[in-house]
Amino acid sequence: MVSIGTISLNDKYIQSFVEKDELTALQDFVESAHKKIHEGTGAGADYLGWLNWPSTMDDAEVSRIEETALKLSKDVDVLIVIGIGGSYLGAKAVQDLLSPAFGRTGLEVVYAGQHISGRYLEELLAYIEGKKVAVNVISKSGTTTEPAIAFRKLKAWMYEAYGEQEAASRIIVTTDESAGALRKTADEAGYVSFVIPGDIGGRYSVLTPVGLLPLAAAGVDIRQLLSGAKQAEADLISTNLEENAAYAYAAYRQVLNARGYSTEVMASFEPAMAGMNEWWKQLFGESEGKQGKGIFPASVIYSTDLHSLGQYLQNGRRMLFETMVSFTEDQQQSQIPFDEEDGDGLNYLVDKTLHEVNQQALNATAMAHHDGGVPILQLEIPKLDAHHTGYLLYFFMKACAMSAYLSGVNPFDQPGVEQYKQNMFQLLGKPGYEK
């Protein structure tokens, strides 16, 4: 168990697969990768801005985000966040994790520009008819096709619905400080704008205005989110694998990968984690999947997926390891009621809460999958709130940088994402892409 700091790494169900020596053998490599991260001596060092971001973010900018969100909450029914990949996954992940599943009150935050579905966009346009709408378009380049199409359509709708001046006051741009098509548009049209720091890539940008503005608009306490990340920044500094759970997680991943466990399944027993799983998949998938290397990131929500993928996890091809994320505190104390007839035979559980039952489901699944040949890492988080969510985000970013450097790749580029774009531009006849 590596438990210095807020998140503990429980390695109980890994010990029969990995010898302690295998992990400690990586200690020197961890130290060298740590230098790459902290001294900026590795590949992609121009994109290390996220490392000290929680402790250095300008407080006045946090206030400006909060003020903009407050104004939106008074003037607007629906905020449409337009972006793809790292431009929206973090905000959606945190919003889904921290907002109630039902009966969300206040400003509604919805997403567009993550795909080219005409059906989705037309349904969205029909949905916002008669509502007070604002748009936050998020794109560093401003030319990514999917969000650019969504923005063009929504902008046209807004100019038609509100007229030029009011529509412009309802558009907020988050983009590069000085470069790119969207910066030019924002400056020319006089849109309110926020800056994506030049040294922070999309998938590491959730704690910048990219994630913070939509989250503040959705009612998330962004100062608590940042305070958790700041604590993680301070905690996850040791190079000792016995003291730094993020580095131990990264090192275990690489040991397992070397043993042929090439797929990692992120598993949670909390359905609100589904969005976080998607954010995590982009973070690790884009950071590590290159040069023919990388652990394939997959995800499940249990118990739901125990009744779809559970069979495969238990008895299928043995190239999987699981990372189970759980929250320790029972925040709801939701009881199972007594039933006189006990037709379902559940009366034996009446003195237990759903949290306790769910925790035993996790233990039972971990035991079963372990016995079926699946190594399991367990990340234990004390509580599900904004502070601990901020901690978790930073934990994964730090672990990802370490893991990618350990595997010998640049954690901060994504050259492979271009290939489909080139083909698509050629097929669509974009000028300049004829060949």
Ligand X SMILES: O=P(O)(O)OC[C@H]1O[C@](O)(CO)[C@@H](O)[C@@H]1O
Q: Point out the residue whose Cβ comes nearest to ligand X.
A: 202
Structure tokens that stand for 379 in this block: 């990340």
**Window contacting ligand X (CB under 6 A); options: 45-53, 133-141, 185-193, 253-261:** 133-141
Rule CB under 6 A: is residue 139 a binding residue for ligand X?
Answer: yes
CB closer to ligand X, 85 vs 375: 85
Pairing of strands 8-10, 376-381: antiparallel
Helix (H, G, I), strand (E, B) or coil at 324: strand
Residue 324, phi then psi, degrees to nearest 5:
-100, 125
CB closer to ligand X, 206 vs 384: 206
Rule CB under 6 A: is residue 87 a binding residue for ligand X?
Answer: yes
Rule CB under 6 A: is residue 116 a binding residue for ligand X?
Answer: no
Rounded to 10 deg, the angle between the 386-406 and 245-258 helix axes is 40
Contacts (CB under 6 A) with ligand X, residues 389-418: 414, 417
Burial of 199 (0-12, 13-18, 19+ CB in 10 A): middle
Rule CB under 6 A: is residue 141 a binding residue for ligand X?
Answer: yes
At closest approach, how far in Å is the CB of 51 from ligand X?
A: 17
Contacts (CB under 6 A) with ligand X, residues 192-251: 201-203
* CA 332/CA 126 separation, integer angstroms: 37
- The residue type at 137: V
Active-site position among 233, 264, 286, 322? 286
**Window contacting ligand X (CB under 6 A); options: 85-93, 223-231, 345-353, 403-411:** 85-93
Active-site position among 35, 132, 352, 421? 421
Using CB under 6 A, which of 140, 183, 290, 387 touches ligand X? 140
Q: Alpha helices of 52-130 — where are they, by DSSP H?
A: 53-56, 59-75, 89-98, 118-128
Known catalytic residue: 20?
Answer: no
Question: Prior bond to 303 cis, omega within 30?
Answer: yes
Q: Are 218 and 99 in contact (CB under 8 A)?
A: yes
Rounded to 10 deg, the angle between the 274-288 and 89-98 helix axes is 150
Closest Cα partner for 208 from 199, 285, 364, 357? 199
At closest approach, how far in Å is the CB of 178 from ligand X?
A: 15
CB closer to ligand X, 51 vs 241: 51
* CA 93/CA 85 separation, integer angstroms: 12
CB closer to ligand X, 364 vs 417: 417
CB closer to ligand X, 141 vs 238: 141
CB closer to ligand X, 131 vs 430: 430
- The neighbour count for residue 316, using CB atoms within 10 Å, is 13
**Euclidean distance between the first and the last CA atom of the chain, given in angstroms as a whole number:** 55
Rule CB under 6 A: is residue 86 a binding residue for ligand X?
Answer: yes
Rule CB under 6 A: is residue 92 a binding residue for ligand X?
Answer: no
Rule CB under 6 A: is residue 144 a binding residue for ligand X?
Answer: yes
- The neighbour count for residue 275, using CB atoms within 10 Å, is 18
Rule CB under 6 A: is residue 84 a binding residue for ligand X?
Answer: yes
Known catalytic residue: 421?
Answer: yes
At closest approach, how far in Å is the CB of 130 from ligand X?
A: 30
Point out the residues that are catalytic. Answer: 286, 421
Give the interface with ligand X as residue ranges (CB under 6 A): 84-87, 139-141, 144, 147, 201-203, 414, 417
